[in-house]
Structure 1
Amino acid sequence: MADQKQNAKALAYNIRWMDRTFRSKAITESLLAPERDKGNITYRDYDASLQFLPGMHRYYTFLFTLGSASFFLLPGPKKWKPQRRLATGASLAMSCYVMGRASELAAHFAFLRSLENPEGFGKAIENVQSQLGQLEHTGLITRPNKSTDDGFSIDENGNVETPSVTSIPDASRVPKTQAAPAAPPSSKWDEIRKKHNPAAHNSAWDAIRQKHEKQQISSEPTPDQQETLWGDDGGDVPSRRTFA
C-alpha cells in the first residue's frame, strides 16, 4: 500500500469543467466508453462515473442559495425594517452558498475516493480534454498529502489532493564546490634572490630584535675598563682616573 502511494501520479480534476462537460448520462457514456474500451477506466469506475458525473450534486450550490429565498416568505421577517431584512437575507444567502459549495466538494471527494484506478481515470479525462480541445488543468490539482489514509484532501480553494511523486534532483547535476586555487609558483628570480639573500625574508620584528642585541653588547664594559673603574682593594676610584 505504501509503494502504491509513493508511485501514484498527479491527477488533474477540475470540478467546473467536469460539471460543464458531463451534463447528461448519454454524453458521459459517449465520452468515457472509448476510454473504457482502451483499458484506461475499469468497468467499475465507468459505472460509477455514469451515476455520479451527471448527478444532482452539480446543482447543490444553486439549490442551497435558492433555498435562502424562503426566508423572505416567513411572516416574522415581513415586520422587520427593510435594512434588517436585507442584511439578514444577504447573510443567509451567503451561508447557504457556502454550504452548497461544501456539499458539492464533498460529493466529488467521495467519488474520487471510490475510484478503483485513479491514475487511469485521470488519463482518460486528459484524453477527453484533448478530444474536445478544452485543456483545463486549473482547479483540482493533486499534491502530496498525509492527512488521510488514502491520501486525498480538500484545501481551502476546493482542490482535492492526492499523493504524487516528488522529484529528486540528480546528484550529477548538482554543482560541486570548487576548491580554492593553489598559490602561484615562485619565479626563477625569486628563487635566486632567496638563495643569495636569505636574510631578506626576515620579518621587521627580527631586524629590530637583532639591532637591540647589538646595542646591548656594545654598551657592556670590557675587562680592562672594569679594572680601571675599580681599584685592587675594591675601593672606589674617582672617575677622572678612568679617562686619564
Structure 2
Amino acid sequence: MSLAKSWFDHAFRDRAATEQLLRPDLESGLLSQHDYQLAVDFLPGYHRYLPYIHTALWGALAGLATFRYRSRVRFPTTVVTVSAVSGYGIGLWHYFRFHRQFARELEDRQAFLLVLENVNKRLGNQSTLFPQLDERKMFETIMKRKQENGEVLSDGAELLADADPPTDGVAPSDAIRASPAKDAPTRPKSTWEAIREANAQNAGKHSSWDELRQRHERRRVSDSGRESIEDPRAQAQKEFDAILEAERKAARG
C-alpha cells in the first residue's frame, strides 16, 4: 500500500504535472473529459498528506498525555512511538478510502487503469503496475466499446505498456556497429614468429650483389642450355665429315 501511495505521490505531485501526464490519453480518446477533470482535481489534492498529518497528530497527543501523566506512564517513548505509527496507519486508511471513492466516480475505470499504465511508461518505468491484468485484451475491449458508443477516437490512441523501451532513435544493432571495437590484447611474439616476419619483410628486397649473382646464374644456365642443344649437331657433323674422308680415301686407294 505504501508503494502505491509513493507512486501516486511521485507521478501526480502537482496539478501541472498531472495535466501533462494525462493529456495525451485525453486527446487520443482513451480518457474521457469527465475522468480527466476528476483526476486532475483529485490526484494532486491534500489527501496525499493524510498519513503524515495523522502521524503528527497522534504522536503529539500521545506526547501531551504522557507528559501530563508522566508519573503514571512507565515507557513514555514507547507510547509516543506506537501512537505515531498507529496514526500513520489510520491516515493511510483514509488515504485509500478517498481513492476508492474517486474510483467509484470514474465513468470508465478499466480505461483509467490503462491510462495509469501509460503514465507509468511516460515516467520511464518498464515494469507494469497491474501484472495480473491482460492489458492488451482490455485495451481492445475498451476501444470496441467506445466505437460502438459513437465516440471519436484519435489514431494516436494506444497502450504504451506494450511498447518497446526507448532506444534514443538508434537500433541496438546500429549502436553496436557504431561503437568502436576494443583492441584485442596482443601476446608477445615468439622467436620463430620474429624470424618469419623478418624474412617476409626482406622477401622483396635485393642488394646489388644479389642481382649480379642472379644475373650470372641465369647467364650460365642459358649458356649450358645452348651447349646442350648444339652438341648433337656438332657430333653429327663430325661423323659426316669422317664418312666423307673415308670415301675419299677409298676412291684414291
Calculate the TM-score normalised by the size of structure 2: 0.46
- Structure whose alpha-carbon radius of gyration is higher: 2
> Which structure: greater helix fraction?
2
Bigger relative CO (Cα 8 Å, ≥ 6 apart): 1
